Amino acid sequence: MKLAVIPGDGIGPEVVAEGLKVLTGVVPSVETTMYDLGAARWHRTGELLPDSVLRELRQHDAILLGAVGDPTVPSGILERGLLLRLRFELDHHVNLRPARLYPGVAGPLAGDQAIDLVVLREGTEGPYAGNGGLLRKDTPQEIATEVSLNTYFGVERVVRDAFERARRRPRKHLTLVHKTNVLVHAGQLWSRVVEEISMEYPEVSVAYTHMDAAMIYLVTDPGRFDVVVTDNLFGDIFTDLAAAVSGGIGLAASGNLDVSRTNPSMFEPVHGSAPDIAGTGTADPTATVLSVGLLLDHLGLPDAARRVEAAVAFDLATRQAGSSGRTQAVGDRLAALASS
């Protein structure tokens, strides 16, 4: 397995080190190449993602990314020039984000909740297309536009993958989340594609929920969701809340998948670079380790993936108030559990 690693900024390098520890414990033959991308490189050279690096990244089986973002870089520069550029250039059309409330984890909701859902967030179009502009800037007549681009091509492939995943899950339930009563054009396309593909999957039950109502359900009845498919922006918002109610962004994994396998997929924790705790050795590497689990699944190593997940589940269920929550200690425990 040829793995490209982008540790990135802030706590990125710390959590990635633990992710690699777990990965190499379960799959001995991993060949890693480190790529120095992020705030430091941008400051040093002005580069975000040189074409030569992008070409090299394409030669790998997968990419593991820590986090990008730094208070010394204006907001948006690294996000768009590096993170989103990778997702778009490598055609990561399925942004896979499971949210599961593990036994032993205290979420912010009162009462007992059973949360075990997976979101397929479209990753290469929608309001993230970067399409829009300013007219009459800095005048009282200024107009700013943002264009959400949605194609049958783009919607069909993520919806199809969502049905495939729903079919393989016990509950076989799929929810389209959108705002079809207001965003009628995109809403019509999404609804029509879901209806069309559902004909091929009679065993999957299908529901529709407006995005605003979905937020309510996530805090009052999260158990209703199994597989969720939605657009890039709704998915961004939905998955942060889903992570929050499942015990926090420190446990939320993600895979940016090119389901066609033309380009390497990229795995990253949902959390950011957390500059406030960088270097203190207290970042929780669990989200990165769970992202390694998604990576193993994607590369056709489900047994290894299950071992990583089971290690996390065991560790979360048995983590004591007294046990060390330091980054390396957690990584050591998870690596030992997964490879035992």
Ligand X SMILES: CC(C)[C@H](C(=O)O)[C@@H](O)C(=O)O
User: Which one among 83, 118, 278, 292 touches ligand X, defined by CB under 6 A?
Assistant: 83
Of the candidates 207, 203, 214, the one whose C-alpha atom is nearest the C-alpha of residue 174 is: 207
Contact 289, 331 (CB under 8 A): yes
Between strands 116-122 and 94-100, the pairing is: antiparallel
d(CA 39, CA 46): 9
**85 known ligand binder:** no
- What minimum distance in Å lies between the beta carbon of 208 and a second copy? 9
Question: Which partner from the list ligand X, a second copy, none does 329 bind, CB cut-off 5 to 8 Å by kind?
Answer: none
User: Which one among 33, 47, 77, 79 touches ligand X, defined by CB under 6 A?
Assistant: 79
Q: Which two tokens stand for residue 320?
A: 């004591």
195 counts as binding a second copy under rule CB under 8 A: no
Q: Which two tokens stand for residue 170?
A: 């016990």
Contact 114, 280 (CB under 8 A): no
Contact 267, 83 (CB under 8 A): no
* Nearer to a second copy (CB atom), residue 34 or residue 147: 147
Q: Which two tokens stand for residue 96?
A: 């896979």
Stretch binding a second copy (CB under 8 A), from 33-41, 127-135, 296-304, 331-339: 127-135
Concerning whether 231 is annotated as a catalytic residue, the answer is: no
Binding mask 232-261 for a second copy (x = CB under 8 A): -x--xx-xxx-xxx--xx------------
Crossing angle between the packed helical segments 302-318 and 286-298, to the nearest 10 degrees:
160
Of these residues, 61, 116, 201, 240, which one is catalytic? 240
Q: Which residues bind ligand X (CB under 6 A)?
A: 79, 83-84, 181-182, 212, 236, 270
Residues belonging to the binding site for Mg(2+) are 212, 236, 240
Residues with a known catalytic role? 128, 179, 212, 236, 240
